[in-house]
Every structure is written in C-alpha cells, then in structure tokens.
Structure 1
Amino acid sequence: MPVAESGPPTPRRFPALLRQRAASFGHALRGVGAALRTEVHLWFHAAATVAVVALGLYCGLARWEWVAVVLSVGAVWCAELVNTAVEAVVDLVSPQYHPLAGRAKDVAAGAVLVMALAAAVVGVVVFGPRLWGQ
C-alpha cells in the first residue's frame, strides 16, 4: 500500500459558503457603522439604548422583561436603519423633489415613529411599576 507523502499539513479553509456569510456580516456591520456616523437620529437611539440597558440593570429586570426590552430596542433600530436605506435610495433615484419620493420618505419615517411609540409603551409597562412604586 503506498504511503502518503509527509509534509506540512495543508491549512483547513472555511467552505466558500461560510466565507461568504462572514463577508455578509462585515457588510452589515459596515452599514450600521456608516448609518451611525451620518444619522443624528441613530445617535439618539444609541444614547437611549445605553440608558435603557443601564436602567434595566439597575432595576434588575426579569428574563421576560429583558426579552421585551431587547426586542423593542432592536425593532426601533431596525426601523431606523430601514428608514435610512429608503431615504438613500429615494435620494439616488429622485434627486429632485417628487411627491412620491416625499411620500416614500414620510412613510418610512412614520414606521420609525410607530415603532418608537410601541417601544415607549413597552418601556412604561416594564419600567413604570418600578419607577412609580406600583
């Protein structure tokens, strides 16, 4: 039986699919970073996120309360990021004012508002009893 040649082992490489997925995460993180650098509203959301997490740690939230808070914060961030993407695409395809472009931007901003209001309700339900002693 022939003996395999000995030599340095060949390094194992991730399959192409895993490399592509890793690259996708990099693109996504770059997108969040770009939005954070350019969108003032995201700065507000970042500050609010830090405040809510700090308040949650201070209040000692239960597991289900953390789930509600994290999902709410994540949903607001997602809505804001989608709004930012919609605004960028609308600006690209319609550099001049157009009523439909304005409506698309308004609706995307409205989605952020609706999600932020829903997150505020979650905040009142989760933090209200602790903060108002009920």
Structure 2
Amino acid sequence: MGLQDRQKRGFRRFIRSFAYAIEGLKHVIKKEQNMFVHIGFAIITILFAWMLDFPILHWMILLLVIGGMLSLEIMNTAIERTVDLITEEYHPLAKRAKDIAASAVFVFGIFAAIIGILLFLPPLIEWFQIVFGGV
C-alpha cells in the first residue's frame, strides 16, 4: 500500500469525516426551511410517542421513519446544490433532476404518514376511551 492509499484511510481522516458530516448537518438545519419543518414535526412526534408510552418496537419503527425522512431531505438538498453548481441557468434537465429528488422525499413522506397513523391510532383511541370513559 502506497503513501497516498494510507493517507486516504487514516484514523485522523476517519475522525475528520465526522466533522464534515456535522458541518453539513448544521448547514442544512440552518439554511433549509424544509429540514427545519421536518425536525419540528419529528420533535412533536417524539413527544407524542413518549406521552403515549410507545412500546420499544413502535419506537424503533418511529425512529427509523424519522431518520429516513431527515436523511432523504439531506440527500435532496445535496442533489439540488449539485445541480445548482453545474448550471445557474434554467435547464429542463436540471429542473427534472431537482423535481425527482424532491419526489423521493414526497413519496417517503406519504408512507411515513401512513406508518404514523398505524402507530398512533390505536394508542390514541385507547387514550380517548380512558379520558372520556368510553363516550
């Protein structure tokens, strides 16, 4: 293994990769409105799950869905910025690439909402029955 190969694989490079990832995450949270909205909904959802005393399996599913949603939004932003880097002028293919990336977030969001309904509906029904005495 040559010197260049070792430089690409060092422990310091591995640690720096975390710093780069955190820098990217901070940027997306600060600059992207949709990410801010997703994080807000994630916090509200987690609070409701905690109040409803979700079982561990529901927590695992919920956190997986939230993580998937946030990750897809980050990837969507990365694709949009890459397209912007290639061309600042309007181009139908650039628009298509951005639209397709956004559609990935949209599709996942639809399924996340369905999963949320399936996770939250039974405990909410039970909670209403307890609070309102089966009214």
What is the TM-score normalised by the length of structure 1? 0.85
Q: Post-superposition shift, 1:132?
A: 2.7
Confirm whether residue 89 of structure 1 aligns to residue 89 of structure 2: no
Q: By how many angstroms is 1:130 displaced?
A: 1.3
Q: Paired residue for 1:41?
A: 34
Q: Aligned partners of 1:20, 1:125: CA distance in 2, in Å?
A: 43
Unpaired runs of at least 5, structure 2: 1-8, 130-135
Following the alignment from structure 1 to structure 2, what is the Cα–Cα distance between the partners of residues 84 and 105?
9
Distance, in Å, in 2 between the alignment partners of 1:118 and 1:18 is: 39
Q: Which residue of 1 aligns with 2:124?
A: 131
Q: What amino acid sits opposite 2:72 in the alignment?
A: A
Report the RMSD for the aligned CA atoms in angstroms.
Answer: 1.3
Tell me how far 1:129 sits from its aligned partner.
Answer: 0.9
1 CA distance for matches of 2:123 and 2:92?
46
Q: Name the CA distance, whole Å, in 1 between partners of 2:48 and 2:10.
A: 40
- Structure number with greater Rg is 1
Shift of 1:49: 1.0
Aligned residue runs from structure 1 range 1-134, under 5 A: 17-133=10-126
Structure 2 residue matching 1:132: 3-state secondary structure? helix
TM-score by length of 2: 0.84
SS across alignment from 1:77: helix
Q: Percent sequence identity over matched residues? A: 33
Residue 107 of structure 1, CA deviation: 0.3
Which secondary structure state, in structure 2, belongs to the residue aligned with residue 61 of structure 1? coil
Unpaired runs of at least 5, structure 1: 1-15
Superposition misfits of 4+ residues, deviation over 6 angstroms = none
The one-character-per-residue Cα deviations of 1:56-107 (angstroms, maximum 9, x if unpaired) are 1101111110111000000000110000000001011011011100000000
Number of positions where the alignment pairs a residue of Structure 1 with one of Structure 2:
119
